[in-house]
Chains A and B, each alone.
Chain A
């Protein structure tokens, strides 16, 4: 018998997929961005359904919040209008692209169903309190993965400097001399 959790999943999956399709089909980038925000929220919902509350929160704050704001800001900066040619042209390459995407999808789904035996019931979470999952997460992150954590921090610093440097370039090597 299907339970509430299953219906929730189907609802969230539909939300994610519909808004995902809308992201890549919307003519105006600003709508793409808004649909993407909805996708992020849907994915956060999926995370909650998988008991990953903290990650879901981060997903909402970082992704649906910060990253999306960054996108929207840039789009506003450009003042982009409705695009007439939103998709790249070329019949052969277009067909190849669709076909390859289809093949990849088919093969992934096939692989999933052939390799993994169906697991219905996830192991029960030992502690069902949010705080404990978060605590366990923190413990893992700051002990086993501390080195990766530090490296990622350095990477972020590099990226931040790189982005600033990039934005300070005026025209680069193709600068017009007018």
Chain B
């Protein structure tokens, strides 16, 4: 006993010194990089460099010692890296708004110059990406902090934090890139990190498969994204965002379906449906819940999945020039919102419910973008990042407390056991079902109002949004009821306990943001009465084109619609409360009444089965047939013929190559002589 303790004492300082040394070396590298970029450059360049390099540094630090089981050190470094990024983001945004809101940019080097194509490693903070970097690094820091506690029992915390920091780096590339190609690098990078983190516990083959599913589904979208880039480059000769947007405005509005801009936007939108989990490529996101829960919060709720929305908002003048695509975006968004919400009604896994909820909320963002309300899309993106990250982290806290149990049928009455988690989750619940004055209310109602009122919108889109909102209120209340209220169904032997402070602090901060996050975008009808301005709208002015032909709406209509959606959501929540707390036997009866429909919905409309039966398996089968007939009979025969000929010639030439080095040298000498002879002639 004494000897092991002694041994432990001896080995610990050695490890510490080693990592300290590495830390010093890496810090020197980082500082060198910052110093280099600061040398003779502006402070803006340095801020950009630090903002981007800090997570990369964290990745290198943790990646190089990925076997280390020291969650405390890895987590601290990773969290600090994220925090440094956050500070830089704040400084950049302050600098930008101080300079009258003109975009700040930094050009580090020419990345590639090929013919007409000239791409620089250029980065840009304008008012759109400002929101994004604040959300990414801010929420990211909180989630890193949460992970320190959450991953404390894991075998490979360093690897986890390395991936998390790499993700942050790539996400910042995606958001800050001033051209499509830099964005694409980040786009692929976040896809990679998503894959690595979904399959983080890859020894479980189901989780590994979920990672692959996410990766491959995203590839389909990425192919569309690439085609979009090609089309835009072909059309405009540039991949730079500001130039594309400028040219798109010059080109004017394209009304047909086959125009180049329409095509490019459609391709880009396919990319967006992959990354942001919209119909038809949403199937990967629910499976992505196989990853650690903080990952679901960061990547699959708050940041990465919003990349598609961000891309469309970033290219808003282009999309406005192709209104047909905007209709597609709106319809896809609206239908996704309703469909995902309906699936969410029937799920029993706490994370699956949240995943479908995310798909549904992303649908709202696309709905907003589709009716031209890009500002509302960004607004909802931000508030959603707050409350959904909060709910995911809350569910992580619950799962942590339940020793890994995710089935809400085995929970119940956790409000006493997990008071802080419950309290913060409660705030997130109020926010997502759209109760005033919580964050979700303002952003969702702005979307609903504009989808009704915008010239690009339609009352049917509003109706889709309303149905989605009602369903959201129902399934979220159901989730609350089954998890925190009612009678305890916790299995014997599980003793739920409140999580440590490092996990509850992020919850509290996000809870606060879920309450007040919406106040920056208070609609005029309410703001007018309260004398508060709509800060967000004012902020985004100039960066985002207004909806063309938008008339000032009637305040009465807006308030009426607001009243309808809030009261319906409230009724729906009360109904859910009644079903799951007061009369727990009721849902079973209802489900039995509409058995067929219930099965259809709870099996997620058999979309996965449809994909496998009608698309993937025929494709595999067809490829196999092609291989068995065409490849074996023709292509292989041809290549064998060629190889036989080569082998015949080679067997003659082979005698020259006998391994005698000096003979080789002689060949060289003869070759030199021959060359010189030719030169002389």
CB atoms of A111 and B666 under 8 A apart: no
Q: Mark A95-106, 1 if CB is under 8 A from B, else 0.
A: 011001101100
- Whether A93 lies near B666 (C-beta < 8 A) is yes
For B675, the closest partner residue in chain A by CB is: A107
Q: Is the interface of B mostly helix, strand, loop or mixed?
A: helix
Residue B4 at the A interface, CB < 8 A? Answer: no
Task: Flag if A104 contacts B669 (CB, 8 Å).
Answer: yes
Given A88-B662, A93-B663, also A111-B669 (CB < 8 A)? no
B525 within 8 A of A: no
Contact yes or no, A97 B676, CB < 8 A: no
Q: Is A114 an interface residue (CB 8 A)?
A: yes
Complex: A100 Cα to B662 Cα, angstroms? 13
Indicate if the CB atoms of A107 and B673 lie closer than 8 Å.
Answer: yes
Chain A residue nearest to B662 (CB atoms) is: A88
Q: By the criterion CB–CB under 8 Å, are A108 and B669 in contact?
A: no
Q: Is the CB of B673 within 8 A of A103?
A: yes
Query: Does B501 lie at the interface of the complex (its beta carbon under 8 Å from any beta carbon of A)?
Result: no
Contact A97 B680 (CB under 8 A): no
The answer to whether B680 touches A107, judged by C-beta atoms less than 8 angstroms apart, is: yes
Whether A97 contacts B673 in the complex (CB less than 8 A), given A110-B680, A111-B680, comes out as: no
Interface residue B679 (Cβ < 8 Å from any Cβ of A): yes
Looking at B666, B670, B672, B673, the one whose CB has the most chain A CB atoms below 10 A away is B673
Contact with B along A135-150 (1 / 0, CB 8 A): 0000000000000000
Q: How many interface residues does B have (CB within 8 Å)?
A: 11
Residue of A nearest to B676 (CB): A107
With a cutoff of 8 Å between Cβ atoms, the chain A residues found around residue B677 in the complex are: 103, 107
B679 touches A100 (CB 8 A): no
Contact residues in B for A100 (Cβ distance below 8 Å): 666, 669-670, 672-673
In the bound complex, do residue A111 and residue B662 qualify as a contact, i.e. CB atoms below 8 Å apart?
no
Closest to A107 in B: B676
The minimal Cβ–Cβ distance linking B666 to chain A, given in whole angstroms, is 6
Interchain CB contact under 8 A, A114 and B666 = no
- Which listed residue, A88, A101, A114, touches B669 by the CB 8 Å rule? A101
Residue among A88, A97, A114 with max Cβ neighbours from chain B (10 Å) = A97
**Docked complex: A81-123 residues within 8 A CB-CB of B:** 88, 93, 96-97, 100-101, 103-104, 107-108, 110-111, 114
Q: Identify the closest chain A residue to B673 (Cβ).
A: A103
Let me know if B679 and A96 touch, CB within 8 A. Answer: no
Q: State the CA gap A108–B670 with chains docked (Å).
A: 13
A111 and B679 in contact (CB under 8 A), knowing A100-B669, A104-B669, A104-B672?
Answer: yes
Knowing A88-B662, A93-B663 are in contact, say whether A114-B670 is a contact too (CB < 8 A): no
CB-based nearest A residue for B665: A97
A86 CB to nearest chain B CB (Å): 13
- Contact digits for A12-52, partner B, Cβ 8 Å, 1 yes 0 no: 00000000000000000000000000000000000000000
Interface residues of B in 649-666 (CB under 8 A from A): 662-663, 666
A108 surroundings in chain B (CB, below 8 A): 676
CB atoms of A96 and B676 under 8 A apart? no
* Closest B residue, CB atoms, query A110: B680
In the bound complex, CA of A97 to CA of B668 (Å): 11
Instruction: With A111-B679, A111-B680, A114-B680 as known contacts, state yes or no: A104 contacts B673, CB within 8 Å.
Output: yes
With a cutoff of 8 Å between Cβ atoms, the chain A residues found around residue B666 in the complex are 93, 96-97, 100
Contact flags A145-168 to B (C-beta < 8 A → 1, else 0) = 000000000000000000000000
Contact A97 B679 (CB under 8 A): no
Nearest CB in chain B to that of A101: its residue: B669
- Return A154 CB to nearest CB of chain B, in Å: 16
User: Within the assembled complex, what's the spacing in Å between the Cα atoms of A96 and B662?
Assistant: 12
B480 to chain A, nearest CB (A): 60
What residues of B have a CB within 8 angstroms of the CB of A101 in the complex? 669
| A-chain residues with CB within 8 Å of residue B673 when the two chains form the complex | 100, 103-104, 107
Report Cα–Cα, A5/B680, bound state, in Å. 32
> Closest approach, in angstroms, between the C-beta of B54 and any C-beta of chain A?
25
Least CB distance, A38 to chain B, in whole angstroms: 25
> What is the bound-complex CA distance between A6 and B676, given in angstroms?
29
B669 neighbours in A (Cβ, 8 Å)? 97, 100-101, 104
With a cutoff of 8 Å between Cβ atoms, the chain A residues found around residue B663 in the complex are: 93
Interface residue ranges of B396-443 to A (CB < 8 Å): none
How far is it, in angstroms, between the C-alpha of A15 and the C-alpha of B680 when the chains are bound?
30
Question: Of A88, A93, A104, A110, which is in contact with the most chain B CB atoms at under 10 Å from its CB?
Answer: A104
Please give the distance in Å from B266's CB to the nearest CB on chain A. 44
Cα of A108 to Cα of B679 in the assembled complex, Å: 10
Name B247-291 residues within 8 Å CB distance of A: none
CA distance A97 to B670 in the complex (A): 9
Smallest Cβ distance from B29 to chain A, in angstroms? 15
**Nearest-CB distance from B168 to chain A (Å)?**
30
Shortest B447–chain A CB gap in Å is 53
Q: Which residue of B lies closest to A96 (CB)?
A: B666
How many angstroms from the CA of A100 to the CA of B677 in the assembled complex?
12
- Tell me the minimal C-beta distance from B673 to chain A in angstroms: 4
* Set of chain B residues within 8 Å of A110, measured between Cβ atoms: 680
Chain A residues near B679 (CB, 8 Å)? Answer: 107, 111
Cβ–Cβ < 8 Å partners of B662 in chain A = 88, 93, 97
**What is the CB-to-nearest-CB distance from A90 to chain B, in angstroms, rounded to a whole number?**
9
Query: How far, in whole Å, are A69 and B408 apart by their CA atoms in the complex?
Result: 78
Q: Give every chain B residue within 8 A of A103 (Cβ-Cβ).
A: 673, 676-677
CA distance A103 to B679 in the complex (A): 13
A72 to B680 alpha-carbon distance, docked (Å) = 41
Q: How far is the CA of A101 from the CA of B665 in the complex (A)?
A: 11
A107 to B663, CA, bound (A): 21
What residues of chain B lie closer than 8 Å to A104, measured between beta carbons?
669, 672-673, 676
23 contacts between A and B (CB under 8 A): A88-B662, A93-B662, A93-B663, A93-B666, A96-B670, A97-B669, A100-B669, A100-B670, A100-B672, A100-B673, A103-B673, A103-B677, A104-B672, A104-B676, A107-B676, A107-B677, A107-B679, A107-B680, A108-B676, A110-B680, A111-B676, A111-B679, A111-B680
Which residues on A are within 8 Å of B, measured CB to CB?
88, 93, 96-97, 100-101, 103-104, 107-108, 110-111, 114
* Other A-B pairs beyond A93-B662, A100-B669, A107-B680, 9, CB < 8 Å: A88-B662, A93-B666, A97-B662, A97-B666, A97-B669, A103-B677, A104-B673, A107-B676, A114-B680
Top 5 A-B pairs, shortest CB-CB distance:
A107-B676, A100-B669, A103-B673, A104-B673, A100-B670
